[in-house]
Amino acid sequence: MSYPLIILGAGASFDYIREDLIRDPLAHNFRPPLTDKLFRTNLLKGIVEEYPVLNNLIASAEAAMQHGKNLEEYLSEIKLKNIERQCQIVAMQFYLQKFFQEISDKYYQIGNNYSALVSAIQDTEKGEACIVTFDYDSLFEKALNFPIEREIDDYIKGPIKLIKAHGSCDWVRIIKDEWRDIEKVYKSSYNFLIKDPTYLKDQFKNKNRQIYIRRDYKETRQYSASDARVIHYHPEVAVPLADKDDSFVCPDSHINVVINALSEVDRILIVGWKAGDASFIKLMAENIKNPVKLTIVAGSQSASRDIYKRISHIANLSPEFSSSTFSSFVGDDMYKKFFSY
Q: How many CB atoms lie within 10 A of CB 309?
A: 9
**Number of independent structural domains in the chain:** 2
* Domain final residue pick, 218, 237, 256: 237
pLDDT value, residue 77: 87
Backbone angles phi, psi at 293, to 5 degrees: -85, 125
Supply the pLDDT for residue 335. Answer: 94
Q: Are residues 229 and 194 in the same domain?
A: yes
Average pLDDT score, the chain: 85
Q: What is the pLDDT of residue 106?
A: 84
Which structural domain range is residue 258 located in?
Answer: 4-23+109-166+243-340
In a domain? residue 28:
no
What pLDDT, on the 0 to 100 scale, is given for residue 133? Answer: 97
Give Cβ neighbours of residue 26 (< 8 Å, ≥ 6 apart): none
Q: 227 and 83: one domain? A: yes
Give residue 202's pLDDT.
Answer: 61
CATH number at residue 249: 3.40.50.1220
The reported pLDDT for the residue numbered 215 is 57
* pLDDT computed for residue 311 by the predictor: 96
* 316 and 285 part of one domain: yes
pLDDT averages per 10-residue partition of the chain, 341 residues: 86 84 68 81 77 89 89 86 88 91 86 92 92 95 82 91 94 79 68 78 59 65 66 86 73 94 94 92 94 95 96 95 93 91 73
Global pTM reads 0.89
Question: Can you list the positions of beta strands (E) in 111-198?
Answer: 129-133, 160-164, 167-181
User: Are 118 and 205 found together in one domain?
Assistant: no
Provide the Cα torsion 47, 48, 52, 58; round to 10°.
160
Last residue of a domain, one of 220, 237, 254: 237
What's the pLDDT at 208?
55
